[in-house]
């Protein structure tokens, strides 16, 4: 059971690697939190995003993502919730005075829990992630290799595992940038502004996205 060829794994991991390198709300959120709040905040964001992505993996394995992929109403509801949430996060960053770079957040568990939950929502409220998993994962289902739901769950979980090889490096890079930004507070203000504009732009793009069947 769950027996695959070497070519199967080569194709899958190549696609998963490129997927995790592609820019989007997830990447923007990790970079933004790492660069403006430091290492622990970056990891909180990363784990939150993984939690939201894992929810999509479960939904795809259970077949519930079919509802979003086939129902214009369901897709629209989740799409607008996700778009409004991204825009709200972007507006918060735009209105930030940029003082976060000069604040010691190492002992702020509530702050990190909030960042984790925000990351989970950024991923969970993106219907394009659900549609993507429903379109992407079935391509790697092999007849006779095992139950379809188990194969979908395995490959979806492995996408997160690949992210675990890539995204910690992004967190470290962002945190290293933060240490330099603390010496230049004004740069931190413009980092917040840039992150806010990016999140708002991603939210608007999501709002105008369409369900493709």
pLDDT over 80 at 178, yes or no: no
pLDDT digit string, tens, across residues 74-105: 667 767 876 787 788 778 777 766 544 444 44
Q: In Å, how far are 11, 140, 143, 146, 147 from 1, measured between CA atoms?
A: 20, 14, 11, 5, 9
Q: So where are the chain's domains?
A: 23-207
- Statement: the pTM of the whole predicted model exceeds 0.75: no
Please tell me the distance from the alpha carbon of residue 202 to that of residue 24, in angstroms, as a whole number.
7
What the block records as the tokens of 89 is: 């996060």
- The confidence score (pLDDT) of residue 34 equals 86
pLDDT digit string, tens, across residues 33-47: 888 778 888 999 999
Distance of CA 1 to the CA centre of its chain: 31
Please tell me the distance from the alpha carbon of residue 125 to that of residue 41, in angstroms, as a whole number.
21
What the block records as the tokens of 41 is: 């905040």
**CA torsion through residues 87, 88, 89, 95, sign:** positive
**Among the listed residues 77, 76, 49, 62, the one whose alpha carbon sits nearest the alpha carbon of residue 160:** 49
pLDDT over 90 at 48, yes or no: yes
**Among the listed residues 65, 180, 172, the one whose alpha carbon sits nearest the alpha carbon of residue 128:** 65
Give me the chain's average pLDDT, please.
77
Report the percent of the chain where pLDDT is more than 70. Answer: 73
What is the 3-class SS of the chain, one letter each residue? CCCCCHHHHHHHHHHHHHHHHCCCHHHHHHHHHHHHHCHHHHHHHHHHHHHHHHHHHHHHHHCCHHHHHHCHHHHHHHHHHHHHHHHHHHHHHHHCCCHHHHCCCCCCHHHHHHHHHHHHHHHHCCHHHHHHHHHHHHHHCCCCCCCHHHHHHHHHHHHHHHHHHHHHHHHHHHHHHHHHHCCCHHHHHHHHHHHHHHHHHHHHHHHCCCCCC
């Amino acid at each position: 059971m769950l027996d695959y060829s070497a070519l199967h794994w080569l194709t899958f991991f190549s696609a998963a690697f490129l997927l995790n390198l592609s820019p989007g709300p997830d990447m923007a959120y990790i970079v933004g939190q790492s660069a403006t709040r430091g290492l622990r905040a970056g990891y909180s964001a990363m784990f939150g995003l993984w939690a939201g992505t894992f929810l999509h993996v479960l939904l795809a394995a259970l077949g519930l993502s079919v509802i979003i992929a086939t129902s214009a109403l369901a897709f629209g509801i989740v799409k607008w919730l996700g778009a409004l949430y991204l825009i709200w996060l972007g507006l918060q960053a735009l209105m930030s005075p940029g003082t976060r770079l000069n604040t010691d957040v190492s002992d702020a568990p509530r702050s990190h829990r909030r960042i984790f939950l925000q990351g989970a929502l950024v991923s969970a409220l993106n219907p394009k992630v659900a549609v993507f998993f429903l379109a992407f994962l079935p391509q790697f289902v092999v007849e006779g290799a095992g139950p379809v739901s188990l194969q979908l769950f395995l490959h979806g979980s492995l996408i997160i595992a690949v992210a675990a090889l890539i995204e910690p490096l992004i967190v470290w890079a962002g945190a290293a940038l933060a240490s330099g930004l603390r010496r230049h507070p004004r740069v931190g203000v413009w980092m917040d502004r840039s992150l806010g504009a990016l999140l708002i732009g991603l939210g608007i793009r999501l709002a105008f996205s369409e369900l493709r069947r």
